[in-house]
Amino acid sequence: MDITRRKFVKASAIALASAAAGGTMGALSGCGTESGAPAAAASADAAGTVKTVGVCRFCGCGCGVIVEAKDGRLVSVTGDPENGSSRGLNCVKGYYLANALYGDDRLTKPLIRDDKATKGTDGGLREATWDEALDLVAARLKETWKADKSRLAFWGSGQQPIVEGYATAKFWKAGLLSNNIDPNARLCMASAVVGFMNIFQTDEPAGCYADIDETDVFVTWGANMAEAHPMLYSRLTARKLADSNVRHYDVTTLTTRTSASADKVLQFAPGSDIAIANAIANYLIQNNLYDREFVADHIQFKQGAENIGNAFEDGYDASEAGKTVDSVENITFEQFAARLAPYTLEYAEEVSGVPAADIQELAEVFADKSRKVLSLWTMGVNQHNRGTWMNHCIYNIHFLTGRYALPGDGAFSLTGQPSACGTAREVGTFSHRLPADLLVAKAPHRRYSEAIWNLPEGYLDAIEKPGMHTVKMFRELSKGNVDFLWTAHNNWAVSMPNLTRFLGRGDSDKQGIFDCFICVSEVYPTLSTQYADVVLPAAMWVEREGAFGNGERRTAVFEKAIDPPGEAQWDLWMLMEIAKRVLEGETIGGQDAFDLLFGAVYDKQAGQFKGSQREVCRTLWEEYRTFSNPQLNEKAAAINAAEKLKMEAKQLAPYDLYIENHGLTWPVREVNGQWLPTLWRFCDGPQEDGFDQLGVQQYGEQDLAAGVSFYKSADHKPSAVFRPYEPPAEVPSQEYPFWFCTGRLLEHWHTGSMTRRVPELHRALPSALLDMNPADCERLGLKDGDRARVTSRYGSFEITVSTAGRTVPPEGMAFAPFFADETLVNLAVQDVYCPLSKEPDFKKTCVAIEKI
């Protein structure tokens, strides 16, 4: 684990080069010490400091860090040059990671609210013992469970470490037989995930971050990487600086810091991206610029349900349109081409406002096979009333041009949170999932899970289906239809759309929350804890051991470096203690339910884990790993073979190797006693160099032209699905004349509960401003610094106006970040979602803006 001098110097050089390019900071930067002064790298070997390996707890880049602690306190966090994802780079949030733990008001004792009337205020919570708090939460959960399990819910997160998420999913699905568990990743990656599943029948990003170093052209489709994926953005700018032929096209609705490195900005009307993507696909076909061989060898064509409307209200999922949105039918290439034919460059210009010549230029870029093209996208595409469709449209272009899964030549859906891939997606904390991509709805998947969990055959058939996805969960909460809600690693009272629905303007809107028993596991007081009946104080980041899985399929462990403050406890301990109480007296197949599920790691009589945190994480990891290494379980292996599940395709390594190697990208396969990670999925090539060897070797697939093979898709062919342009859920009107887009800025993490407690970050960006176009301000008589009221059909908030912000919206649009709970932009943001993924559209609410 020691960083050798040579590697350290090399990585520092890379880091400094990139830092110059993109504003990220490298291995030589110390984190702020208490006084805010950077610790010197030389102190790394100073006596008394303990060094551990970790990974940043903020964004999905998943940067590695080296953590140093002395006398039970973090003294430095620096970029880890041996982490293959970041190679020593960190951004400013990583730089101040240690300080995020030391806000003055860390929660250190369990809190209980005796009077529900105090909900929504700063007061009303009193200190309690752990036993009192846990007894209360467990009693309320058990009561709801026994009375009507459709009225209980857990809301999780892509920030939940892997084994914690695995254990939570196991408790909820196998212990409670409930599907009412969903993560905040529903607000984030759901459209990308449904895209992956529809197209490849497996949820896995094909490429890796090295694609950024290899490509010739970057196309960002609604991704503000400079603010949201800074480490990757500095690799993008480093690549551009290194080769003046490298190009960047920023396809965006407003000018952002990311636009700064673009050679061309294609600024389009919100939601019209599908028309642009279809016009590019159409141009390629019409002009014979597509890759015939790749298409013939690898791609099948489909079309799906159309005119699918908008999910304004709950009735949508159960309506005719709602029930059939997933349907697709096979079509020929010629039919696919005919569907695209109306998407001329001129039509796309008319819909999007982007000049036809610019769209043509981008199409020509895709057509030019002498250069590699990398598409990157994030929430502009996913948080979209047609988010799943737009994911399809990007893949369609890459399939037509034979650019997929090849180094530097691919389509890369960026992940937002540190473990949205590793936890929310991989271990299955979505309402419809089981671990490792398995689905509750599929009987063979339930049989397979039962085998690994030692459950009687058929036991999981009793899970109620389909379960509540996130938006439904909170809509039902607002109507008084949820009696018990437990949330962890999120701050729903700030991050959910249409907060007015349940936080409202008056008590009648809040009735659902007043009536529901709410337990919040947190590290700091937040707006969500203000609505909690019980607050459980949690150990934060390296105050316990855990692991995250980042956007390039890299699983990385962060070691425990220090103890949590006061009585704060590991989230996993809370889960064990609550599960133990709820399952008291319950049996599964004649065995004690708790012991069957968690006896391997927790001694319920003693009320403690069996062994160290390392041992607990290892045991749970090994159990989880069985899902993707079926040879470890005879019964699972038989089901895997009989049902052709191909579970081994996502093999994972033994736990300790992830620590030794500072993270590994899956699949990690054992070859001659060596565990080899994979960088390029679906791409044949030497495994030693990080290429996949699925297909020919493993599944007897033909050796196909471009050297790629798709093991899970029907006939090994992923689908290009025609998706039409359909307008946004609402468009500007006389009453609500502005588009309102929301998102992020570099210094703050989501709801700001952690980063606003870091003085350096807070000072850099103290409040949320409404970025506006100067022309609009002039028309409305607004000056920088004026207060404005922003009102939508959903709700309203007040905010300070700026024309000098980080983003420059076009006329008729305004932008604000959502980190400030005193501003609470989500009071006004629509909770309309993509009908396929159920992911809300946070990007295009229509609002009125008036000077106060």
Ligand X SMILES: Nc1nc2c(c(=O)[nH]1)N[C@H]1C(S)=C(S)[C@@H](COP(=O)(O)OP(=O)(O)OC[C@H]3O[C@@H](n4cnc5c(=O)[nH]c(N)nc54)[C@H](O)[C@@H]3O)O[C@H]1N2
The residues carrying an active-site annotation are 93, 188-189, 379, 416-417
Rounded distance, CA 276 to CA 301, Å?
Answer: 20
Identity of residue 175: G
52, 78, 413, 490: which one binds ligand X (CB under 6 A): 490
Q: Give the residue ranges of DSSP H helices in 85-208.
A: 92-95, 130-147, 162-170, 190-200
Kindly indicate which of the ranges 217-225, 596-604, 715-723, 794-802 contains the residues binding ligand X, using the contact rule CB under 6 A.
217-225
The only residue of 21, 91, 251, 420 in contact with ligand SF4, by rule CB under 6 A = 91
Please check if 188 is assigned to a binding site: yes
Contact between 819 and ligand SF4 by CB under 6 A: the answer reads no
Structure tokens of 33? 């010490």
Interacting span for ligand X (CB under 6 A) from 454-462, 581-589, 712-720, 840-848: 840-848
Instruction: Tell me which residues in 528-557 interact with ligand X (CB under 6 A).
Output: 538, 540
Largest alpha-carbon pair distance within the chain?
Answer: 74
Q: Which of these, 512, 509, 516, 474, lies nearest to 494 by C-alpha position?
A: 474
Burial class (CB in 10 A: 0-12, 13-18, 19+), 322: middle
Q: Among 401, 435, 389, 395, which Cα is nearest to 413's?
A: 395
Q: Is residue 744 near ligand X by the rule CB under 6 A?
A: yes
Look at residue 740 and give its three-state secondary structure. Answer: strand
According to the binding rule CB under 5 A, does residue 188 interact with Mo ion? yes
Q: Closer CB to ligand SF4, residue 25 or residue 219?
A: 25
Q: How far apart are CA 588 and CA 597, in angstroms?
A: 9
What per-residue string of b and e applies to 195-233 under the rule 16 or more CB within 10 Å gives b? Answer: bbbbbbbbbbbbbbbbbbebbbbbbbbbbbbbbbbbbbb
Helices and strands, counts by H and E, the chain: 29, 35
Asked if 234 interacts with ligand X (CB under 6 A), we say no
The values of phi and psi at residue 301, to 5°, are -115, 145
Judged by DSSP in three states, 540 sits in: coil
Q: Which is nearer to ligand X, 402 or 564 (CB)?
A: 564
Q: Considering the rule CB under 5 A, would residue 416 count as an interface residue with Mo ion?
A: yes
Residue 114 in marked binding region? no
**829 near ligand X, rule: CB under 6 A:** yes
Residues 439-458 that bind ligand X (CB under 6 A): none
Query: Which residue of 59, 532, 572, 679 would you call a contact of ligand SF4, by CB under 6 A?
Result: 59
Q: How many CB atoms lie within 10 A of CB 135?
A: 15
Minimum distance from CB of 818 to ligand X (Å)? 4
- Amino acid identity of residue 104, one-letter, is D
Q: β-strands 410-413, 373-377: how paired?
A: parallel
Residue 789 and residue 851: Cα distance in Å, rounded?
Answer: 6
In the complex with Mo ion, the residue whose CB is nearer, 128 or 424, is 424
Tokens describing residue 775: 């022309």
Instruction: Say whether 63 counts as a known binding-site residue.
Output: yes
CA distance 485 to 156: 11
Q: Is 10 annotated as a binding residue?
A: no
Q: Which two tokens stand for residue 742?
A: 């929301």
The entry of Mo ion, ligand SF4, ligand X, none near residue 411 (CB within 5 to 8 angstroms by kind) is none
Neighbours of 132 (CB within 10 A): 13
Return the number of other C-beta atoms located less than 10 Å from residue 487's C-beta. 24
Looking at residue 740, its amino acid is: F
Instruction: Single out the segment in contact with ligand SF4 by CB under 6 A; choices: 55-63, 302-310, 339-347, 767-775.
Output: 55-63
Ligand-binding site membership of 184 (annotated): yes
Q: Is 808 in the site for ligand SF4 (CB under 6 A)?
A: no
In the sheet that holds 300-304, the strands lie side by side as 328-331, 300-304, 719-722
8-state DSSP, 362: H
CB of 57 to ligand SF4, least distance (A): 8
Q: Find the shortest distance in angstroms from Cβ 157 to Mo ion.
A: 10
Nearer to Mo ion, 426 or 533 (CB): 426
Q: Which residue among 106, 113, 119, 384 contacts ligand X (CB under 6 A)?
A: 384
Calpha distance 175→582 (Å, rounded): 9
Pairing of strands 181-183, 152-156: parallel
Residue 743 sits in the site that holds Mo ion (CB under 5 A):
no
Interaction pattern, residues 265-294, with ligand X; x per rule: CB under 6 A: -----xx-x---------------------
Helix (H) or strand (E) holding 682: strand 680-684
Distance of CA 466 to the CA centre of its chain: 22
- 661 known member of a binding site: no
**Among 3, 63, 236, 452, interactor with ligand SF4 by CB under 6 A:** 63
Out of ligand SF4, Mo ion, ligand X, none, what residue 217 binds, judged by CB under 5 to 8 A for its kind, is: none
For Mo ion, what does the binding mask look like between residues 147 and 186, x meaning CB under 5 A?
----------------------------------------
Residue 90 interacts with which of ligand X, Mo ion, ligand SF4, none, CB < 5 to 8 Å by class: ligand SF4
Residues 510-529 that bind ligand X (CB under 6 A): 521-524, 526
Span from 43-51, 53-61, 237-245, 424-432 in contact with ligand SF4 (CB under 6 A): 53-61
Verify binding: residue 230, ligand SF4, rule CB under 6 A.
yes
Number of residues that bind ligand SF4 (CB under 6 A): 12
Among 90, 99, 259, 626, which residue sits at the site for ligand SF4 (rule: CB under 6 A)? Answer: 90
* Residue 97 Cβ vs ligand SF4, minimum distance, rounded to whole Å: 7
What strand order describes the sheet that includes 111-113? 125-127, 111-113, 534-537, 517-522, 484-488, 152-156, 181-183
| Phi/psi at 789 (5° precision) | -105, 130
Tell me: is residue 843 an annotated ligand-binding position.
yes
250 by DSSP, 3-state: which?
strand
Contacts (Cβ under 8 Å, ≥6 apart) of 118: 124, 125
Q: Give 230 or 410: the residue with its C-beta nearer to ligand SF4.
A: 230
385 in a labelled binding site: no
Is 846 a known ligand-binding residue? no
Determine which residue in the list 61, 285, 367, 540 makes contact with ligand SF4, applying CB under 6 A: 61
Q: Per residue in 644-675, is it b (16+ CB within 10 Å) or e — as a string?
A: ebbbbbbbbbebebbbebbbbbbbbbeeeeeb
Binding partner at 655 among ligand SF4, ligand X, Mo ion, none, C-beta below 5 to 8 Å by kind: none
| 295 versus 834: smaller Cβ distance to ligand X | 834
Residue 93 lies near ligand SF4 (rule: CB under 6 A): yes
Q: Which two tokens stand for residue 271?
A: 């939601």
Phi, psi of 446, deg, nearest 5:
-70, -40
| Residue 394 lies near ligand SF4 (rule: CB under 6 A) | no
- Report the distance separating Cα 236 and Cα 18, nearest Å: 9
Residues 722-741 that bind ligand X (CB under 6 A): 741
DSSP H or E stretch at residue 522:
strand 517-522
Does 62 participate in binding ligand SF4 (rule CB under 6 A)? Answer: yes
- Contact residues for ligand SF4 (CB under 6 A)? 56, 58-59, 61-63, 90-91, 93-94, 230-231
Binding site for substrate: which residues? 818
Annotated binding site for [4Fe-4S] cluster: 56, 59, 63, 91
Residues that bind Mo ion in the complex, under the rule CB under 5 A: 188, 416
Residues making up the binding site:
56, 59, 63, 91, 93, 159, 184, 188, 271-273, 379, 383, 491, 521-522, 571, 818, 826, 843
- Contact positions toward ligand X, by CB under 6 A? 59-60, 157, 159, 184, 187-188, 221-224, 227-229, 252-254, 256, 270-271, 273, 378-381, 383-384, 416-417, 488-492, 495, 521-524, 526, 538, 540, 571, 741-744, 746, 748-751, 753-754, 818, 825-826, 829, 842-844
